[in-house]
Amino acid sequence: MLQDLSILDECQGQIPLLSPTNWKRDGSYTKSWTKKDWEHHQVNSFQRYSRHLIKWIISPTARSVLPAVAMFLGWSVLVVHVMQQYPHLTKKASFLSGLSSFTAPLSLLLALKTNRALNRLLEARSMWGKMISNTKSLAQLVTIYVWNKDSDRAILMGRYLSLYLWFMKGYFRQEDATPIITTLLPPEEAAWLLNLPSDMPLPTATVWRLRQLMAGGLIEKLPRTASHAMEDRLWHLESIFGTLKRIMGSPIPPTYTRHTSRVLCLFLGLLPVALMGNKTEPTTIYIMVSLLAYIFVGIDEIGVEIEHPFPLIPMFYLARAAQTNVQNQYRALQLQQSRRL
């Protein structure tokens, strides 16, 4: 098994499933952070602000927001031109003080949406952390209790546990798991997985197979505490998969997103009209509308971005960490046995 896992390590970066997939150019959250990343992040404020300003031009969020900013700026130019051609409209558009009351409910809408989206991201990330700890714990129980009873079954269970988080990555990123299945599993096991019904996900099939391996004449040989602990880990893996599917299948109500977008467009659309009614200089109007559009649309864009957490979670690094954890349990067992000999 350890030799086959080393083959998987060699394949990393060669197939999509075994490759990091950073859809954001900076990859700031789509990788697992190290001490060096934190040191780079927590520099003094002057260095941090300078770096952020210098890299502003290549910011993925800024690039996503700029088309909308350009749209509102173009609208402002049109409004200024029309109201300069028809001065009597300016006298009827003095409602700047009333328009300012929009900012409070608009800010509340954006804050609530962004907070809810961030909660979804944190919950999904937490679930992946729990999967790592549960697979590691289950591998440890297998090497301690199952190995002495049935070493072949223990090895097969270890193979499935090594693959579990890769299967999760493949499910949520729509990446083919066939290469790793044929590499790590025996031919009959690989054929069984590859011929499953399309509506049975590989993570579900893996938990089912692990439970079957435990029940097939083995559970009676294990201490009751061990069998209960192993079943508890499997139940948690099932529960976590269900939670992640819920996050995938139930976004923040689109009605909320649509309403926020419409209120935002209404505010930014009326803003140049109100500023012209207040006899503001055209250049000032263009700057104010552009800045407010960048701020408000940017917050909305961030909320939409993190609402769908699965492209952001560093699945490659987490799956690799889970595989390494399982691998280390069997390496420890192998080392212990070699010392006994």
Residues 58-84: tens digit of each pLDDT: 888 889 999 999 999 999 999 999 888
Q: What is the pLDDT of residue 211?
A: 92
Query: Would you give the DSSP letter of residue 155?
Result: H
Residue 45 has pLDDT above 80, yes or no: yes
Give 127-150 pLDDT, tens digit per residue.
999 999 999 999 999 999 999 888
pLDDT at 224: 87
How many of the other CB atoms lie within 10 Å of CB of 235?
Answer: 13
Task: Report which of residues 29 and 26 the model is more confident about.
Answer: 29
Residue 44 has pLDDT above 60, yes or no: yes
Average pLDDT, the chain: 88
Residues 158-169: tens digit of each pLDDT: 999 999 999 999
Task: Give the pLDDT of residue 262.
Answer: 93
pLDDT of res. 19: 85
CA separation for the pair 329, 138 (Å, rounded)? 10
Distance CA 324, CA 151 (A): 20
Cβ neighbours of 154 (radius 10 Å): 23
What is residue 248's predicted lDDT score, i.e. its pLDDT?
Answer: 95
DSSP state at residue 185: S
pTM for this structure? Answer: 0.87
What share of the chain has pLDDT > 90, as a percent?
Answer: 60
The C-alpha torsion from 72 through 76 and 78 to 81, rounded to 10°, is -170
Instruction: Please say if the pLDDT value at position 89 is more than 70.
Output: no
Closest-CA residue to 25 (of 50, 68, 55): 55
> Among 146, 188, 147, 139, which Cα is nearest to 163's?
139
State the DSSP string of 13-79: TTSGGGS----SSS-SSSS---HHHHHHHT--HHHHHHHHHHGGGG-HHHHHHHHHHHHHHHHHHHH
